[in-house]
Structure 1
Amino acid sequence: MRLLMMSDTHVPQRAKELPAELLARLPHADVVFHAGDWVDTATLDLLAQRSRRLIAVYGNNDGPGLRARLPEVARAELGGLRFGVVHETGPAPGREARCAARFPDLDVLVFGHSHIPWDTVTDTGLRLLNPGSATDRRREPHCTYLTAAVADGALTDVTLHPLPQRR
């Protein structure tokens, strides 16, 4: 099972549209995750139409239209792994302990908000993944997204993809 993870797309605030490379990967993903801060419903509609399965939440920059359609926390079991998606997990210091306490029933938590990629494992075994932002790199050298696979009940091939700079 192939996974595609993104967050903090902020269309049209930070970019007019999603990067072409990211859109080209959609048909190849069995499941697409979006960890919030869409800003517009058109991007949600686009991903819902082009994705085989979309698991998504709203973020702090998402208004009533998106909040009416998306949960604050989403959960799904995929290939024997328990996934969760949430936008914000708080400051980096103490993140592992906070998330392990808040989500003791998950194997993988996809989150966003910071625009900074993150990949760690808590003492309890919870894998924390932040794909960064595909449209707003902030202090990072590149905009980014993540891909991964689920095989035999394990998360494999977790890869951070840098995107080319927009012109």
Structure 2
Amino acid sequence: MPTRLLLLADTHLPTRAKALPDEVWRAVDEADVVFHAGDWVDEATLDALEARAARVVGVWGNNDGAGLRARLPEIARVEFEGVRFAMIHETGSRERREQRMEQAFPDTDVLVFGHSHIPWDSTAPGGLRLLNPGSPTDRRRQPVCTMMTAVVDDEALRDVELVPVGRS
């Protein structure tokens, strides 16, 4: 049976927005697994996602305090339908990112990350897929806020989609 994924990062609540947009919550309700790649900022967002989502996989980011760091790992690793995921908040410079991350995460099929608020979807030479969903609450230099959805089915990641959140 396919596993529906929602990828989030850099929600920065309540500093960048007061709450997650309704369209994010609708996506949470539709997902089997919600990934959050750090910079939650408040524990209330983690609590709310854990209460509502079928499953949450999260990591802490550079703007997350002691409470979130006590509850979340720096690196998360999970497997769904034979696809091996890792997640970390920050991957460093975009220069040679694919090669560096492929060396850092050799037994991984998909690496989810955040930090930049800039959506990213690339594949390293050895096959590692790198995904950054951007931010659903702080677009920075992007035209709109974003999140990502994907499906894991038959041992493959499929239907990766960058989803605009609101319009500006």
Corresponding residue for residue 133 of structure 1? 135
Q: Give the aligned length.
A: 166
Aligned partner of 1:122 among 118, 121, 124: 124
Corresponding residue for residue 3 of structure 1? 5
Corresponding residue for residue 60 of structure 1? 62
Within the alignment, does 1:153 sit opposite 2:140 as a pair?
no
Letter in structure 1 aligned against 2:129: R
Within the alignment, does 1:81 sit opposite 2:86 as a pair?
no
**4+ residue runs of structure 1 moved beyond 6 angstroms?**
none
Deviation at 1:109, TM superposition (A): 0.4
Deviation at 1:26, TM superposition (A): 1.1
Q: Secondary structure at the match of 1:3?
A: strand
1:109-158 deviations in whole A, cap 9, x for unaligned? 00000000000000110000000000000000000000000110000000
Deviation at 1:94, TM superposition (A): 1.0
Letter in structure 2 aligned against 1:125: G
Within the alignment, does 1:30 sit opposite 2:32 as a pair?
yes
Ranges in structure 2 where 5+ consecutive residues have no aligned partner? none
1:25-75 deviations in whole A, cap 9, x for unaligned? 112101100000000000000001111111100000000010000000000
TM-score for both structures, normalised by structure 2 = 0.97
Ranges in structure 1 where 5+ consecutive residues have no aligned partner? none
Counterpart-to-counterpart distance in 1, 2:102 and 2:86: 12
Deviation at 1:24, TM superposition (A): 1.1
Identity of paired residues, percent? 61
Corresponding residue for residue 111 of structure 2? 109
TM-score for both structures, normalised by structure 1 = 0.98
Q: Secondary structure at the match of 2:108?
A: coil
Counterpart-to-counterpart distance in 1, 2:153 and 2:34: 16
Letter in structure 2 aligned against 1:25: A
Letter in structure 1 aligned against 2:83: L
Letter in structure 1 aligned against 2:117: H
Deviation at 1:164, TM superposition (A): 1.2
Corresponding residue for residue 50 of structure 1? 52
Counterpart-to-counterpart distance in 2, 1:78 and 1:42: 27
RMSD: 0.8
Q: Secondary structure at the match of 2:79?
A: strand
Deviation at 1:9, TM superposition (A): 0.1
Q: Secondary structure at the match of 2:73?
A: coil
Letter in structure 1 aligned against 2:164: P
Corresponding residue for residue 98 of structure 2? 96
Deviation at 1:165, TM superposition (A): 3.4
